[in-house]
Structure 1
Amino acid sequence: MADPAGEGGLVKARPVVLIAAALVLLGGSLGYVLHARQRGDGPRLVAAESSFTLDAPGLYYRDGATGRVARSPGAADGPSCVRFYAAGDRALCLRALPGTPARTQAVVYDRRFTELQTVTVPGIPNRARVSASGHLLSWTTFAVGDSYAAGTFSTRTSILDLRTGYLVKSIESVPLTVDGTRYHAADVNYWGVTFAADDNRFYATVSTGGRTHLVEGDLKAWSARTLRENVECPSLSPDGTRIAFKKKVSADPEAPWRLHVLELDGLREHPLAESRSVDDQAAWLDGATLGYALPAREGRGTDVWSVPADGGGTPHLLVPGGSSPVAVAAAPD
């Protein structure tokens, strides 16, 4: 079990032993990252929980009845998660740990669901993403509150680079430029990271001063700049040219958002055929289709739906009782 990480504490990788860690000052107010080195000839791996793997390409999701990762069609035989995502040869599972205060365990798996590493952070599981290569992972937790619809919430978003072992515990330390001006404020919150194919650039939501913005971040330059206002939970298309997002279109706290797609070239946007309020980070199931979760039509929980990304067509029910949809490709060579 990984030790909880306090604001100044070290995060232990499971099951490897952490023997060296350094807080690296990235210049001025650039914040810090944690660099963990592993001892021995290689990490000792925790065996997969079952024979369930990501080897078969298709739609994977969290099954609401069991809380486990499932494949459509098929049984829910994967690990238990609150949020799930996979890409490349890695998968990310967010689990809510028991007890108070709330804590989240981020678990990194390979395609056979062999557990490679765990990180424990404060808060309630909320968003999970893996870069297309599987090298970068990000998760968001609610540190305060449990809904973006309410005005009183606080988030914590981390990025883990599996190539180096660097863990950015909170990307609030990234220097932010808003409308061309360097920006400082105590109420800055980031959430909903999505990665570009270069494993350097990322997009996310930043909230401050009662407004939300789409930001483009650069890990190497350790900087972020706003691109457009009123963009939440971005999801970059496979070709890197479009961002799906939820846009606030109403003051009604029960139905504030509508899914849109933004063209990065020219920043033109259009609404999608899904007119219901979607509080989710939509996933690109292919270059033309988005998947997302909506409250279930009957009972509690959510269902997985899809809708064309071009604004046409109609929404389609994919998985009753599902959430966290992700289209997994064949294993990389």
Structure 2
Amino acid sequence: MNRSKKWLALALISVLVLGAAIAYGITAYTSYQARSAEPSEVRTTTTSVTSTDPHITFRNTATGEGYGKVATVPLDTPSAARALSDQACDRVYATGAVLSCLQIKRGVPTTFAASVFDRAGSELASWPLPGIPSRTRLSADSSLVATTSFVTGHSYAITGFSTETVVSHVDGESYGNLEDFALWIDGERLTTADRNIWGVTFGSDDRTFYATAASGGRTWLVLGDLAERTLTAIADNAECPSLSPDGTRVAYKKRSGAAETPHWGIAVLTLATHEEVVLPEPKNVDDQVEWMNDETVLYGLARDGAAGDSDVWSIAADGASAPSLLIEHAWSPSVVNE
């Protein structure tokens, strides 16, 4: 192929890629608008939950007015009518003081962003994300925020996926991409190009955190240190951890079954003894678990045959009972106790 033909082929490919991107943006925007155009299929209220009362904040996935908006229900009556805010988020997490909101800004082109809001709804900070939002968490004192995005362009991710996870102070100072931290597995530093970090959950000292590390088809629960910029593996086969309110246990996704038909369940690890309990959830879980209290965990499950819709379920952290539906048409829950 001569040079002119190569340039022509490149131009044609560029046109096709641009056309596909434009088509995706238009389709995504149209679909989102259609879901939001009709009356909501759930009970809603204009009366907001008092911010000092315990409540659950989540993304509303009920079709109709308010689809994709941040919603709240009282912690003691999660079946109550949900209070809808004006803020749209694709992933959300809240404390008593601030709210982290990850957004897919649908349009031409589609872009991605993270924002932090105070209790009154005023934006404190905002920055672009490099790809589709995946996970976000805030520290208990509301000073730190973690975001995870799916990214493209890494050669090793042709048959898998790649992430970028960043921890920042809410006021803007960033610790950077956690892939730049030293990752230690069984006493040896892992420097392979395919390592990925995601799913941060914070300890109580604004220094310690837990996360997922992955490389070569394996995943680990890692203990992170923001001051030392280190990640140290403490358990195998764990993803998307969440630290219990009392700081003694970590819940996470755990893979079981054959390689061709894996099952992603939920396990709870006691940190002091390394005793692990696998919870009796028969469905595949693709979420970062949230603790409702020291006895119960919450998580989202996609609705079968209903793209873009999901429910929040609860299950006992000791595995003593079956899961139960907690909030219909909901996603990305966070429990706010103050």
Matched, 1:270 2:267: no
- Of residues 58, 83, 89, the one that matches 2:55 is 58
Q: Which of 120, 125, 133 is the aligned partner of 1:125?
A: 133
> Which amino acid in structure 2 is aligned with residue 125 of structure 1?
P
CA distance in 2, matches of 1:253, 1:88: 43
Q: 1: CA distance between counterparts of 2:152 and 2:260?
A: 18
Counterpart for residue 19 of structure 1: none
Offset at 1:151?
Answer: 5.3
Displacement over 3 Å in runs of 4+: 50-54, 98-103, 251-255
Q: CA deviation at 1:112?
A: 1.9
In the TM superposition, what is the alpha-carbon distance from 1:88 to its structure 2 partner?
Answer: 4.0
Q: Kindly report the root-mean-square deviation, in angstroms, between the aligned alpha carbons of the 2 structures.
A: 2.2
Letter in 2 for 1:289: T
Which residue is 2:212 aligned to?
Answer: 205
Against the structure 1 CA distance between its residues 98 and 312, is the aligned structure 2 distance closer, same or farther, given a 3 Å change threshold? same
Aligned to 2:295: 288
- Please point out which of 261, 274, 279 is paired with 2:268: 261
| Counterpart-to-counterpart distance in 1, 2:191 and 2:108 | 31
AA aligned opposite 1:64:
T
Q: Kindly tell me: are residues 213 and 126 of structure 1, through their superposed partners in 2, closer, same or farther at Cα, counting changes over 3 Å?
A: same
Alpha-carbon distance between aligned partners in 2 of 1:194 and 1:307, rounded to the nearest angstrom: 19
Describe how 1:44-55 pairs up with structure 2 within 5 A.
55=51
Give the total of aligned pairs.
276
Q: Which residue of 2 aligns with 1:188?
A: 195
| Correspondence for 1:318 among 314, 326, 330 | 326
Cα gap change, 1:295 to 1:268, in 2 (>3 Å) = same
Distance 2:293 2:287 in 1: 17
2:184 aligned with 1:177, yes or no?
A: yes
Distance 1:91 1:180 in 2: 37
Q: Is the 8 A contact 1:234 1:246 kept in 2?
A: yes
The aligned counterpart of 1:111 is: 119
Q: Is the 8 A contact 1:53 1:113 kept in 2?
A: no
SS at the partner of 2:179?
helix
- TM-score, normalised to structure 1, is 0.78
How much does 1:104 deviate? 2.1
Q: Verify the 8 A CA contact 2:245 2:294 in the aligned structure 1.
A: yes
Segments of structure 1 that go 5 or more residues without pairing to the other structure are 1-49
Find the aligned partners of 1:255 and 1:279 in 2 and give their Cα distance.
12
Report SS of the residue matched to 2:292.
Answer: strand
Distance 2:109 2:182 in 1: 29
Shift of 1:329: 1.4
Could you tell me how far apart the structure 1 residues matched to 2:151 and 2:98 are? 26
Counterparts in 2 of 1:255 and 1:295: CA distance versus 1, 3 Å? farther
CA contact (8 A) 1:53 1:78 kept: no
1:258: Cα distance to partner? 0.7
Task: Give, in angstroms, the shift of residue 162 of structure 1.
Answer: 2.7
Q: What is the CA distance between 1:275 and its match in structure 2?
A: 2.2
Identity of aligned residues (%): 40
Q: For 1:287, what is the secondary structure of its paired residue?
A: coil
Distance 2:260 2:84 in 1: 33
- Cα gap change, 1:51 to 1:313, in 2 (>3 Å): closer
Partner of 2:256: 249
CA gap of 1:155–1:258, structure 2 versus 1, over 3 A, is same
2:144 & 2:201 partners in 1: Cα distance? 10
| Per-residue deviation, 1:71 | 1.1
Q: Which residue of 1 aligns with 2:147?
A: 139
> 1:299 offset after TM fit, Å?
2.7
| Pairwise CA distance, 1:222 | 1.3
Say which SS state the counterpart of residue 204 (structure 1) adopts: strand
- Residues 78 and 210 (structure 1 numbering): CA distance in 2 closer, same or farther, change over 3 Å? same
Shift of 1:132: 0.7
Indicate the structure with greater helix content: 2
Find the aligned partners of 1:108 and 1:53 in 2 and give their Cα distance. Answer: 20
Q: Measure, in 1, the Cα distance between the counterparts of 2:89 and 2:49.
A: 15
Higher mean displacement: 186-195 or 113-122: 113-122
State the structure with more CA Rg: 2
Aligned match of 1:34: none
Whole-angstrom distance in 1 between the partners of 2:209 and 2:302: 29
- The structural deviation recorded for 1:99 is 5.3
Whichever residue aligns with residue 203 of structure 2, its letter is A
Match of 1:71 in 2: 72
2:163 to 155, 162, 169: 155
Q: Which runs of 5+ in 2 are unaligned?
A: 1-45, 74-79
The one-letter amino acid of 1:91's match is L
Q: SS at 1:279's partner residue?
A: coil
Q: Is the 8 A contact 1:54 1:328 kept in 2?
A: no
- The whole-number CA distance in structure 2 between the counterparts of 1:128 and 1:193 is 7
CA contact (8 A) 1:94 1:105 kept: yes
